[in-house]
Structures are given as structure tokens and as C-alpha cells.
Chain A
Amino acid sequence: MSRLIRLDETGHTTLAEWSMEDRAAFEDAVVAFRAELDRGYFGIASLPDGRAEQIRELPFDAPTVILRRPIAGG
């Protein structure tokens, strides 16, 4: 089961979940993902080597995609 998670004031919120068999759930996740990008969130998918990748489209096969706010120097 893949998850789309948003980092927010509640700790985190799971916005969508989908599986390889459930295409409709994935389409809902894509809509939610794009809506959060429009709100200024950035999508992050983790790579097996421990790095992460900033993404603009929701990967169907990524186990977890996290939405974060921009960072800035303090």
C-alpha cells in the first residue's frame, strides 16, 4: 500500500493511499498531490540509497511520498 503524506501542524496527515491494483485510488491521490503542490507544498520521494528526490508528479510505485513546506535560511 502506497501513501501520500503531508507534514503539517498535526504531526502528519495521510492524504491518500493506493495499491497497484487500485487505479481509481491512485487517481484520487494524484488529484490530492496536485492540489497540495498548488498550495505551495513540495513532493518528496525516497530513493533506496537513502537520498530523496523532489518530484512534480506522483509516482505510482513509490511506497511513500511526503509533502513538505519550503525551507529558508533563518
Chain B
Amino acid sequence: MSTAVPAAYGALEGLPERETVHWRRRVDARSLRRRGRWWTATTVAHTVPFICAAIALGVLEPVTIPVSLALLAHAWAIPELYAARGANVLRPRRAAGAGPERRALLLLGDLIDDRARTLHAATGLVLERGELGTWILGEAGAVLVRPDGRRVFCYCVKASASDLPAGDRIAHLLLALRVNERDFATVANLAFSGAPWRLRRRLRPGQRGALRAALAR
């Protein structure tokens, strides 16, 4: 696939799917920074009251220390649940039959280079470098690792057909991402944003290699 396709062939500027979310502002580096700060502020706002209440109860009425511990558990669990939701976007979906899966893999293999093929064989995920950062593509979601490696954005996004084999689901996302990265991020729904280490702990062990590779780029 090496021939350039002239714009005369009715090439579109971006993804047509963006029309379905026309009210959203197009994602760019600046909006990602703002969105990331907002996620951090929201997480803090959800956890700090629990911590303050736990300390206050423990100091004012030591007999309520079990309640304080429950509140601290809440403060710990909320960010963990957010991170788990982020990791969930890369969770493998139900496999199709062996034949379709193999055929889909053949096509996906044609779309990516040797390094990406090796990583996919090990993790089931595909890495793709973009202008906003490095993307990790799964079957029903994508994770954007920002260039400084300090923050990840986890997106729920998938092909509208539900009966596709795994390789085809990833190929759908890969092709859409290659058409227009900013539109891709705009169409997708943000499930989590935070530090990579928070996501890493919640990823399946077999998938962590993809995050490591994305951070190393």
C-alpha cells in the first residue's frame, strides 16, 4: 500500500463520525491538558472529603475509628475504580471463530509493521504513534499516552458492528485513527485520565508490555 491517493477521489477532511458528536469541541493538545487537569481535580474532589472526614472523626471521637477506616477505604477505592474503568477499555471481547480470527489477523498484520506485529502477538494490542502521543489500540477502546509519558487518556471507542473478529475490531480503530487522530479522539468517549502507573496496576499482566512500549517511545 504505497501509492498516494489524490484528493480528487473525493477524499474527506476527517472522520464522518464526527458529525454524530457535532457538539463536542475538536480534541487538541491544549484541550487534552485541560481535560487532564479537570480529571485530577475531580478525583481530588471525590477523595479529599472522605480523608478529611476520616481524620476529623478519628480526632474528635476515637470510638468512631472504624468509621474513619471505612471512609479511608472509600477514598482509596474511588481512584482505583476510575483506573479500573480506564483499563477496561483494553479488555479483550468475545472471540469469533478460529477461521475469521485468523483472516482478520492476516489483514491487521498487513496494516502494521514488524515491531507492532510482535507486540500484538504478545499483548493483543497495537501501538500507533500520533501527533497527540502514542496510542494503544484494543478491540473496543484506545489509550493515548502523552509524549511526556506523565498522563494517559483511556477512551471507549469501537466499530459499530458487534460480530467482528478481534483483529478486525482493532483494524477499524487503526484505520479511523490514521484518517484523523483528532477526530478519533473527539468521537471516542473518555473513560479515565491519570498517571500511567495508576492504569498499569489495573491492566491485565499480559497487556502491560504495551503500556511499557508506549512509554518508551
**B178 at interface, CB cutoff 8 A:** yes
Query: In whole Å, how far is B135's beta carbon from the nearest beta carbon of chain A?
Result: 13
Known: A11-B99, A72-B157, A74-B189. A54 touches B5 (CB 8 A): no
Known: A46-B1, A69-B161, A71-B17. A7 touches B107 (CB 8 A): yes
Task: Report yes or no: A72 in contact with B161, Cβ–Cβ below 8 A.
Answer: no
- Which residues between 1 and 53 of chain B lie within 8 Å of chain A, taking CB atoms? 1-6, 9-12, 14-17, 20-21
Query: In whole Å, how far is A42's beta carbon from the nearest beta carbon of chain B?
Result: 7
Name the residue on A nearest B188 (C-beta). Answer: A73
Chain B residues in 8 Å Cβ range of A59: 3, 5-6, 9
In angstroms, Cα B69 to Cα A74, docked, is 35
Q: Give the number of chain B interface residues (Cβ < 8 Å).
A: 55
Residues 79-110 of B, flagged 1 when their CB comes within 8 A of A and 0 if not, give 00000000001000000100111111111001
In angstroms, Cα B104 to Cα A50, docked, is 20
Task: Give the contacting residue for B159; candidates A46, A50, A56, A71; CB below 8 A.
Answer: A71
In angstroms, Cα B17 to Cα A21, docked, is 36
**B122 at interface, CB cutoff 8 A:** no
Chain A residues in 8 Å Cβ range of B100: 9-11
For this complex, into which size category does the number of interface residues on chain A fall?
35 or more
Known: A72-B160, A73-B188. A53 touches B165 (CB 8 A): no
Q: How many A-B pairs with Cβ below 8 Å?
A: 146
Task: Report yes or no: A71 in contact with B187, Cβ–Cβ below 8 A.
Answer: yes
**B155 at interface, CB cutoff 8 A:** yes
Name the residue on B nearest A60 (C-beta). Answer: B9
Name the residue on A nearest B162 (C-beta). Answer: A9
Task: Report yes or no: A70 in contact with B16, Cβ–Cβ below 8 A.
Answer: yes
- Write 28 A-B pairs (CB below 8 A) sorted by A numbering: A5-B107, A7-B107, A7-B159, A9-B96, A9-B163, A10-B100, A11-B99, A11-B105, A12-B103, A44-B178, A46-B111, A47-B4, A50-B178, A53-B12, A54-B11, A54-B15, A55-B10, A56-B12, A58-B9, A59-B6, A59-B9, A63-B3, A68-B159, A72-B157, A72-B160, A73-B155, A74-B89, A74-B140
Can you list the 10 inter-chain pairs with the closest CB atoms, starting with the nearest?
Answer: A11-B103, A56-B10, A73-B189, A74-B156, A52-B178, A11-B104, A46-B1, A45-B5, A11-B100, A54-B12
Q: A12-B103, A46-B111, A63-B1 are in contact. List 5 more A-B contacts (CB 8 A).
A: A11-B103, A48-B2, A54-B11, A55-B10, A71-B173
Query: A residues bordering B, Cβ < 8 Å?
Result: 5, 7-12, 42, 44-48, 50-59, 61-64, 66, 68-74
Query: B residues bordering A, Cβ < 8 Å?
Result: 1-6, 9-12, 14-17, 20-21, 89, 96, 99-107, 110-111, 140-141, 155-161, 163-165, 167-168, 171-173, 175-176, 178-180, 184, 187-189
